[in-house]
Amino acid sequence: MAWKVIVGKKDIGKMELEEEIFGLLATSGDPTLDFIGALLRDKLIFANDQEIQLALDNLVKKNKISKVQSSFSQYGYFRNVVRSC
């Protein structure tokens, strides 16, 4: 299933969303899913929770980030582990 995320008036694909989120994680510590969504909206990227979660899961599978479970959030926190060159 393909999906697109609206950036202003431009669509970006799954890979671009993953890279945007990866860049945000590198500068924002351990944000929650809601905080990631707010940071994306600040950049005029409008993605729903499901799209953000899918992008985060893909980053975990690629070993770019690790998922850290937290009792304070049903989604868990995400921490940047490896920054790719």
Mean pLDDT of 3-18: 70
Residue 59 is assigned to a structural domain of this protein:
yes
Residue 85 is assigned to a structural domain of this protein:
no
Residue 55 is assigned to a structural domain of this protein:
yes
Residue 64 is assigned to a structural domain of this protein:
yes
CA 5 → CA 27, 53, 54, distances in Å? 22, 13, 12
Residue 65 is assigned to a structural domain of this protein:
yes
What's the whole-model pTM score? 0.66
Residue 12 is assigned to a structural domain of this protein:
yes
Question: What confidence tens digit (pLDDT) does each residue in 19-71 have?
Answer: 988 888 777 766 777 788 888 888 888 888 888 888 888 888 888 877 655 44
Query: For residue 50, what are the domain limits?
Result: 5-80
Residue 76 is assigned to a structural domain of this protein:
yes
- The count of structural domains within the chain is 1
Q: CATH number of the domain that 9 lies in? A: 1.10.10.10
